[in-house]
Structure 1
Amino acid sequence: MNLDEFFRASSTLNPKLTILISAGKHFLPVNQLLIDNKSLLLGKTAPSKGGSATITLDQFLTRTRQLPLKTDLRTLNDHQLVFGFRIVNKSIVFY
């Protein structure tokens, strides 16, 4: 999935939804966005003081607005391409 596909698919969603990554049977909060070549890497850093901070859809859109639309979405830990997302309990879960 690239940014253009995600922007179009999420255009009508609640901007307060949090962003998560599917990791096996668990969901990890996305709180780190890194640019690598033509990819945006979605990752999780160490927990913050209040727990694991997670960015919202609104924050994600603001931070990625200036990137090329063809930028691929990938996971930070293994650089695997993200193929889509689903909505689970007020969160967007990339898989």
Structure 2
Amino acid sequence: MNLDEFYRASGTLNPKLTILIAAGKHFLPVNELTIDKDSLLLGKTSQSHGEFATITLDQFMARTRQLPITTDLRTSNNHQLVFGFRIVNKSIVFY
């Protein structure tokens, strides 16, 4: 999935949805965005006030609007391409 595909698919969603990554049977918070060549790496390494903070959809949009829309979305731990997302409770979960 690239940014253009994600923008089109999430354009009507609540901007306050938090962003998570599916990791096995668990969901991990996305709180770090790193650019690596033509990819945006979604990660969970930064800590805030002793707990992991999760960015929201509107924060994600604000942080990525200057990137080319062809930028791929990948996980930071293994650089696996994100194929889509689903809504779980009040979160967007990339998988």
TM-score with structure 2 setting the length: 0.97
Partner residue, 2:12:
12
> Tell me, which stretches of 5 or more residues in structure 2 are unaligned?
none
Rounded Cα–Cα distance in structure 2 between residues aligned with 1:34 and 1:94: 16
Counterpart CA distance in 2 for 1:52 and 1:29 is: 7
Unaligned runs of 5+ in 1: none
Match runs of 1:67-86 below 5 Å: 67-86=67-86
SS of residue in 2 equivalent to 1:16: coil
Question: Is the partner of 2:63 in helix, strand or coil?
Answer: helix
SS at match of 2:8: helix
Aligned residues: 95
Paired with 2:18 and 2:50, the residues of 1 have a C-alpha distance of 16
Q: CA deviation at 1:73?
A: 0.1
> Which residue of the partner structure matches residue 53 of structure 2?
53
Q: What is the Cα deviation at residue 50 of structure 1?
A: 5.0
Residue pair 2:18, 2:57 contacting (<8 A) in 1 also: yes
What root-mean-square deviation, in Å, do the aligned CA atoms of Structure 1 and Structure 2 show?
0.8
The corresponding residue for 2:27 is: 27
| Alignment-derived partner of residue 93 in structure 2 | 93
- Equivalent residues of 2:32, 2:46 under 8 A apart: no
Kindly state the Cα deviation for residue 48 of structure 1 after the two structures are TM-superposed: 1.9
